[in-house]
Chain A
Amino acid sequence: MSHTVPNQYRSEAARTLRDLPKVRTSVTSATDNFNHNRLRAYGEIDTDRWRNWARDVKTHTLTNLDHYLEQAEKSLTANGVRVHWAHTSADALAAIREVVSEHDLKSAVKGKSMLSEELGVNAYLEGLGVHVREADLGEYIIQLLGEPPSHIVGPAIHKSLEDCQQLFHEKFGTPLDGDPDTLAQAAREALRAEFLAADLGITGGNFLAADTGTLALIENEGNIRLSTSLPRVHVAFVGIEKIVPRLEDLAGFVQLTTRAATGQPIGNYISLIQGPQHRDEVDGPEEVHVVFVDNGRTNLLADEEAWEALRCVRCGACLNICPVYRQTGGHPYGWAYSGPIGAIIAPGILGLKEAMPLPYASSLCGACADVCPVRIPIPELLLHWRERAVEEGLAPKTEELGLRAYTALAEHPQLFSIGGSLLRKLPWQRGGRALPVLSGWTQERDAPDPSSRSFQSMWKDGIK
């Protein structure tokens, strides 16, 4: 339900910075908090060991993914869960359509799920006449505003308290200076009625243990707990990379994910879904469906380098630390997953051409790799996609030709030295600023003040 596409990244980012300066303030302040909390939470455990363990378990699982997916299907089926396989987003949507029409479902509550954003579940179900209500507070806010999420973990991260006060004042009549608790209470009351009326609960899945068929969901608000226990049917969309081999692996992954995401030792609610309501149980849905979604993930898996991105646990730590993301929040990226992780999975899920220029939306500062709980080498993968863009003729032509010329020049020191002097003296004047790189530079900055002579000529004359 993104309103733009990745190809518009530069103009959308520039527009956000120019027209919506409060977005930068809100995102910076919220991510500063996330970072501060993550740093503290990482400091409480032997994080390097945990991260190595998590990396190794995920790598092992991805290396044997066919085996674990088959095992998961068997376990889920034995638990009474109905398993669907979706190769594409259309397949995933067809799976939920079947469930909806089989049970004549009318009203859905949805726990926060980035995969459902990737698939466009809300718009699709609304098209079928099913009412869909986002039940996570942040998702609820942006649903009321008609906006896509701006962050993997904090979808309304780009909104300030004042924005929310204004919105809730208009929708629920809360005071314009209502504190966060007052606003949350208003949302809680509105959502409670939705939970009670819903016949379909939709979620994603943080992890799925292959040996026991256990679906693990992490949250803080209890909306996922309600979405998976009150409505009579529960549909979970689960990316095929979300498998872990054993139930006991969840203990480490759940804690590491929340520490990386929000700095919490564990989420307020951890739901371990073991199937539909059993005969001796008093609550729970009549049916549970797991839709395993590929939607381009096997493209990533088949890539000798890019597969490492599939270890991602969607904690958002790389977004929080990313100085590029922090300028604009997630909307300019033009699809569900923003920030560094979004830029390295977009080429697999959307296709490289559609993902351009996201692999270039990074200064390669490397801060993301420092914080990733599963040690995805994000800068290397950004470079990998840039190399692929060159190979496939998708890289910007002026840049490519310019750098080829620069390389040829740099192999000839004398010419390079003349070229360097020209760069120093000439082009920063008015006319030169029309050149591609220089115009980009001087648009936002003053022209630099080059040295009066090159170091190499100083060296020739002798340095005292």
Chain B
Amino acid sequence: MRVSLFATCLGDQFYADACADAVRLLRYHDVQVDVPFGQTCCGQPAYNAGLRREAERMARHTADTFEDAEYVVLPSGSCAGMIRCFYGRLLSDDPRVKALTTRTYELSQFLVDVIGVTRLGSGLSGRRIAYHHSCHALRELGVRDAPLELLRGSGAEIIEWVAEEECCGFGGLFSAKLPEVSAGMADRKLETLPEVDMVTSTDGGCLLQLSTRAARRGDGPQFRHLASVLWEGLDQ
């Protein structure tokens, strides 16, 4: 089985270690990983800003880059959602796009749904973890149980969080254009956060938002990417 990893623009620059851990996790499960040169951005910032033509160009560029991929896996629900749910609309006449959308997966979704991983190890035994469901993993991809199963399958205790399915307020450019409201949304998450060792999520954007707002407020636990947390969950 061969996976082409799409690190995403944000992952490449802000969550490089998590991307590397995603490679390690996949290799651990006997998956051959490549990282096609040429990958840049999925086009979501342009798409969400109403710049349809620019989004189409990025979709075409991404489809070119991953044309030969057996599977495309992203350590991001948001970018995976962009490809799976919206590329078809942007480039409905491009057969490569159709093929790409059906073999694109968010990391935990791929591990559980495609490889069939249920248990990783006991590396997270005794760890109290809150999981932030990123909106696009949850609502566009329908990924709810996969990351929780993997975390539990690494020994972690998942702590219920009333706001676990609420938006963190990132929303790409939204966070910079309406920073006050965006910060209020992050505050709601942080105000309701139970006592935990760490918060994890499959989306770097959400983690960036929550961790930097928590730093400004001077509170909050560790915020770590799911790929790194799961890598730690293996018995190595």
| CB-based contact A17/B184 at 8 Å | yes
Q: How large is the interface on B (under 10, 10 to 19, 20 to 34, 35 or more residues)?
A: 35 or more
Residue from the set B11, B16, B38, B216 with the largest chain A CB neighbour count within 10 Å: B16
Q: DSSP class of A's interface residues: helix, strand, loop or mixed?
A: helix
Binds B, one of A72-80, A247-255, A265-273, A403-411: A403-411
Residues of A within 8 A of B49 (CB): 386, 390, 395, 399-400, 403
Query: Is the beta-carbon distance between A367 and B167 smaller than 8 angstroms?
Result: yes
Cross-chain contact of A390 among B14, B41, B50, B166 (Cβ < 8 A)? B50
Interface hits, B175-199 → A, CB 8 Å: 175-186, 188
Q: How distant is the Cα of A300 from the Cα of B162 in the complex, in angstroms?
A: 37
* Main secondary structure on B side of the interface with A: helix
B215 surroundings in chain A (CB, below 8 A): 445-446
CB contacts under 8 Å to B, within A421-453, are: 421, 423-424, 436-441, 443-448, 450-453
Q: Verify if A187 is at the interface (C-beta below 8 Å from B).
A: no
Contact status A413-B50, CB under 8 Å: no
Q: How would residues 15 to 59 of chain B score, 1 for a CB under 8 Å from any chain A CB and 0 otherwise?
A: 111011001100000000001011111010111111110100110
Minimum Cβ distance to chain A for residue B194 (Å):
16
Interface size on A, residues (CB 8 A): 69
Q: Is the CB of B216 within 8 A of A444?
A: yes
Contacts of B54 in A (CB 8 A): 403-404, 407
Tell me which residues from 276 to 295 in chain A have a Cβ below 8 Å from any Cβ of chain B: none
Contact B35 A363, beta carbon cutoff 8 Å: no
Q: Which of B41, B49, B61, B179 has the most CB of A within 10 A?
A: B49
Contact A455 B167 (CB under 8 A): no
Residues of chain B within 8 A (CB-CB) of A400 are 49, 51
Q: Does B171 contact A (CB under 8 A)?
A: yes
| A438 partner residues in chain B, CB cutoff 8 A | 176
**Chain A's nearest CB lies how many Å from the CB of B26?**
11
In this complex, which of A13, A323, A441 has the most chain B Cβ atoms within 10 angstroms of its Cβ? A323
Closest to A384 in B: B50
Kindly state the separation between the CA atoms of A382 and B178 in the bound complex, as whole angstroms.
16
Contact with A along B137-177 (1 / 0, CB 8 A): 00110000000000000000000000001110111011111
The stretch that binds B, out of A42-50, A81-89, A324-332, is: A324-332
What is the chain A residue whose CB lies nearest that of B180?
A14
Q: Mark A385-403, 1 if CB is under 8 A from B, else 0.
A: 1111110000110011001
Binds B, one of A53-61, A125-133, A159-167, A456-464: A456-464
CB contacts (< 8 Å) of B208 on chain A: these are: 448
Beyond A13-B181, A360-B177, A410-B40, 6 additional contacts (C-beta under 8 Å) are A367-B167, A389-B50, A399-B177, A407-B57, A416-B9, A444-B179
Chain A residues close to B by CB (< 8 Å): 10, 13-14, 17-18, 24, 28, 323-324, 326-328, 357, 360-367, 369-370, 383, 385-390, 395-396, 399-400, 403-404, 406-407, 409-411, 413, 416, 420-421, 423-424, 436-441, 443-448, 450-456, 458-459, 463
Question: What are 19 inter-chain pairs, A to B, with CB distance below 8 A?
Answer: A10-B180, A14-B181, A24-B184, A328-B184, A363-B135, A363-B169, A364-B174, A365-B166, A365-B171, A367-B165, A385-B50, A404-B51, A406-B41, A407-B51, A413-B39, A413-B40, A445-B216, A454-B16, A458-B20
